[in-house]
Amino acid sequence: MLDFNRNHFELFGLSPAFALSRESLERAYRDIQAEIHPDRFAHAGEAEQRLAMQWTARVNEAYQTLRQPFERARYLLELQGVHAMDARNTAMPADFLVQQMEWRERLEEARTAKDFAALQRMESDTRAQAERLERQLAELLDERQDYVQAAEVLRKYRFMDKLRLEIDQAMEELDTP
Amino acid sequence: MALLQIAEPGLSTAPHEHRLAVGIDLGTTNSLVATVRNGIAVVLNDEHGRPLLPSVVRYHRDGSTVVGYEAQTQASRDPHNTIVSVKRFMGRGLKDLPDATTLPYQFVDAPGMVQIKTVAGVKSPVEVSAEILKVLKARAEAALGGELIGAVITVPAYFDDAQRQATKDAARLAGLNVLRLLNEPTAAAIAYGLDNAAEGIYAVYDLGGGTFDISILRLTKGVFEVMATNGDSALGGDDFDRRIYCWMLEKSGLHAIGDHDKALLMGKAREAKEALTEHPEVRITAVLSGGELIDLALTEQAFNDMTESLVAKTLLPCRKALRDAGLRPDDVKGVVMVGGSTRIPRIQAAVGEFFGQTPLTNLDPDKVVALGAAMQANVLAGNKGQDDWLLLDVVPLSLGIETMGGLTEKIIPRNSTIPLARAQEFTTYKDGQSAMAIHVVQGERELVADCRSLARFELRGIPPMVAGAARIRVTFQVDADGLLSVTAREMSTGVESHVEVKPSYGLTDDEVARMLQDSYAHAQDDMAARNLAEAKVDGRRLAEATRNALAEDGDNLLTAEERAAIESLLQALEMALAGDDLQAVKRATDALNKGTVEFAARRMDASVKRALRGHRLEEIDV
């Protein structure tokens, strides 16, 4: 019998891997939603309505996790018993930290100068960097099964994610009159 | 009962019976009701053939009310007791209304939501909205010739939890069974998308009377997926009227004018705005109560200049929504315009410029929301098979709780697909701490003070432990209406404390009962008869759902004994439904509900399995 403890990949009929076909994931998500969404049970009994809501919430959670690269990698590592974001795992290579400081200086300068074009350049630079890290994650997780290395790359990815969020916020601030 | 084996899921075995359901657009300025008749969505007109019902309620001393056009024409005669644009007050405290002092009402600051003093007593915005809904309900029942099984009520996508809860309470008070609260732009997308077989990314720009929404949707094979939504729940066509009104005062050299004249001039301002969509210049004339004559000419250019900042204010949420969806304006395949205010030429031009394309205006911007809501109501009522569309909507504003130092910890980020549940663990900060205050907030800002406070509750009975040892799991659950409930539980010792909150602005069942009593004191209705009728509707719905479920899956999912047990509960319910004993109906309904929990679970599993069939199943032990 199906149960709530089935892992996210199994729920969508996918093999557990970092590299995944977005299209297959989206199709499986839509197909499941078409069967279990609360809208399908609006005229059913109370018990079915409640279950439909719980299942849909569960499927939405799984979908959100799998479609975001960071969450997907973290989840894969957790399935291997590796808690990449554990507070004790904070060591980062020095060159990466130096690079981060440079990024942040650039961000601060662009923000103070209200330089929207500079923020847009940063956005595309950081996106390229994030894509590089995603390729590394795919190799480490799916081919080499090197989970310790993968956890370190994931922590770098987290830094980039946060930085990109801050760039977004800075752009939004410039937009707001 | 014949035991049919049905191959296709979702096909009802009951004889084909059209269930009466409607979609209601409960607007700031105007409201509408629509239904699906012979497969086509139509707006239901009033007895004079008018589709709109102005959202205006006038209270008389004896407690009776006048709603709609008649109330609108009386607004300037009795401004204190004629409530206009009540939607602006839904789920709002006095401090949330920056223009409260310029309005002709006597506000009473009640916890959670303002109330208004009228000749018929103090009225909550929920009660005022319920008067509008009652008129629409009566209109629909007269047109359709029967009792409604339910309604889909639309709300602005950017409405927060307090505003949604208030809307649902108003429907309850009007005696409507709410099938779903549906976001207005999503409703418009259904009406537009199904009419035009649209696929791809669409933006819905919805400028209503008092609210602005922008939603970005992806339409794929019958799935309407909201990718991001944004807006301003205090910006709408009303603001354009007010700009004209202020300009009229300035041009006429008037300062303080009475409430009667104010209502008169606001009406003139609205008429002028509407006339300007078709004429380059309009003349505004009015005679005030003191005999002063107002005679002014307003050009489209002057109107555009005085409202330019309002138009600009709508483009900011457009940019934010696109950014949240990770898209650029040129990714958008079409822009659907919704709301009467989008008839303003300057708005069409500005939106066209922003998205780099001419906006779509082939659907009546006043009706499209109600039509989409009617289509969704028809599906939710069970009038169609499984081959229909599916809506995947989102929560518009982040939800979180207050942590140390007045900071917000977000638990559910904005634009998360609903329904959803998410848990986060927190801990105590003092040794031996036995209680924890939980403050639920909604909004994007970091400081709690800048977000909307939704509810406060306390988790008590935490066993004494050193600071940081307790593990308090706070679970947020958002249902398909976008409504939140919060649970907190202490996990570390196995001792569980459990609190369920309904946010504080929501009306308790007692309050709703009191309001119902009040309204029936005037309507000479019988509460007991009404309660029985409602219980029977619930009971019949459950009996029918159970019969269908048994016919579809009774053979393959239940043993003979299990099936017999359910059938005997069903029979007991049918017996009770034949009688007139309220308690017996409630007891039998409850018993059948409880008795079918396991069956429901198995059916749901079967649904998930069915959904997975056709996908790669090698690693699943189905």
**Confidence (pTM):** 0.87
Q: Would you call B320 an interface residue with chain A, using a CB distance cutoff of 8 Å?
A: yes
In this predicted structure, the answer to whether residue A1 has a pLDDT above a threshold of 50 is no
The residue among B264, B265, B210, B254 whose CA lies nearest residue B232 is B210
Q: Picking from B189-193, B213-217, B520-524, which range would have the lowest pLDDT averaged per residue? A: B520-524
- The identity of residue A123, as a single letter, is E
Tell me the domain boundaries of chain A: 8-67, 94-175
pLDDT value for B358? 96
Say if residue B425's pLDDT is above 60. Answer: yes
pLDDT for position B35:
97
Confirm whether A8-67 and A94-175 share one CATH topology: no
At B617, is the pLDDT very low, low, confident or very high (cuts 50, 70, 90)? very low
* Nearest beta carbon to residue A53 from set B419, B601, B620: B419
Low-confidence winner among A1-5, A18-22, A85-89, B14-18 (lowest mean pLDDT): A1-5
Q: Given a cut of 90, is residue B467 above it in pLDDT?
A: no
The C-alpha atoms of residue B444 and residue B450 are separated, in whole angstroms, by 9
CB-nearest partner of A51 from B600, B616, B622: B600
Q: What is the pLDDT of residue B377?
A: 95
Give the whole-angstrom CA distance, residue B291 versus residue B591. 70
SS3 label, residue A144 = coil
Q: Once rounded to an integer, what is the mean pLDDT over residues B81-87?
A: 95
pLDDT at B388 over 80: no
Question: Min CA distance, A148 vs chain B (Å)?
Answer: 26
Residue type, A23: E
The ipTM assigned to this model is: 0.85
> Is pLDDT at B229 greater than 60 in this prediction?
yes
Q: CB contact, 8 Å: B417 with chain A?
A: yes
Order of all β-strands in the sheet with B223-232: B334-338, B200-207, B212-220, B223-232, B390-392
- How many Cβ atoms from other residues are within 10 Å of residue B65's Cβ? 23
Which one is predicted more confidently, B183 or B597? Answer: B183
Per-residue pLDDT of B231-272, as tens digits, reads 998 899 999 999 999 999 999 988 778 888 988 999 999 999
Regarding predicted confidence, which is higher, B244 or B495?
B244
CA angle B324, B411, A158 (to 5 degrees): 60
Interface test with B, best of A48, A55, A67, A164 (most B CBs within 10 A): A48
B541 touches chain A (CB under 8 A): yes
Q: Residue B459's beta-bridge partner residues?
A: B436
Answer whether B613 touches A (CB < 8 Å).
no
Please give the pLDDT value at position A169: 84
CA distance A4 to chain B (A): 10
With 80 as the cut, is the pLDDT of residue B132 above it? Answer: yes
Residue B7: is its pLDDT beyond 50?
no
Fold category of A8-67 in CATH: Helix Hairpins (1.10.287)
Give contacts of A123 with chain B, Cβ < 8 Å.
none
Active site residues of B: 25, 87, 184, 206
CB B218 within 8 A of CB B227: yes
Give the model's confidence band at B520: pLDDT under 50 very low, under 70 low, under 90 confident, else very high. Answer: low
Residue of A nearest to B557 (CA): A1
Smallest Cβ–Cβ distance between A45 and the set B323, B420, B600 belongs to B600
pLDDT for position A40: 86
Is 90 exceeded by the pLDDT of residue B500?
no
**Eight-state DSSP code of residue B359:** P
pLDDT number for residue B502: 59
Handedness of CA B12, B13, B16, B20 (dihedral sign): negative
Taking an 8 Å cut-off on Cβ atoms, the answer to whether A34 and B611 are in contact is yes
On whether the CB atoms of residues B294 and B285 are closer than 8 A, the answer is: yes
Residue-level pLDDT at B341: 93
Number of DSSP helices (H) and strands (E) in chain B, helices first: 14, 27
CA-to-CA distance for A39 and B180, rounded, in angstroms? 9
| pLDDT band (50, 70, 90) for residue A121 | very high
In chain A, which residue's Cα lies nearest the Cα of B390? A34
What per-residue confidence (pLDDT) applies to B13? 41
Q: How confident is the model at residue B391 (pLDDT cuts 50, 70, 90)?
A: very high
Tell if the CB–CB gap between B608 and A30 is shorter than 8 Å. no
Q: Which range among B215-219, B224-228, B526-530, B575-579 shows the weakest confidence by mean pLDDT?
A: B526-530
Chain B neighbors of A58, CB-CB under 8 A: 421
Hey, how many other C-beta atoms are within 10 angstroms of the C-beta on A94? 7
Residues 6 or more apart whose CB falls under 8 angstroms from that of B489 comprise B459, B472, B473, B475, B496, B497, B498
Q: Which CATH class is domain A94-175?
A: mainly alpha
- pLDDT value of residue B15: 45
Three-state secondary structure call for residue B65: strand
* A13 closest CB neighbour out of B546, B601, B620: B620
Residue B384 DSSP label: S
Q: List, as own/partner pairs, every contact residues B605-608 make where C-beta atoms lie below 8 angstroms and the sequence separation is at least 24, other chains included.
A: B605/A1, B605/A2, B606/B553, B606/B557, B607/A35, B607/A36, B607/B9, B608/A2, B608/A32, B608/A35, B608/A36, B608/A55
Instruction: Write out the DSSP string of B318-335.
Output: HHHHHHHHT--GGG--EE
B334 is written with which tokens?
């079409």
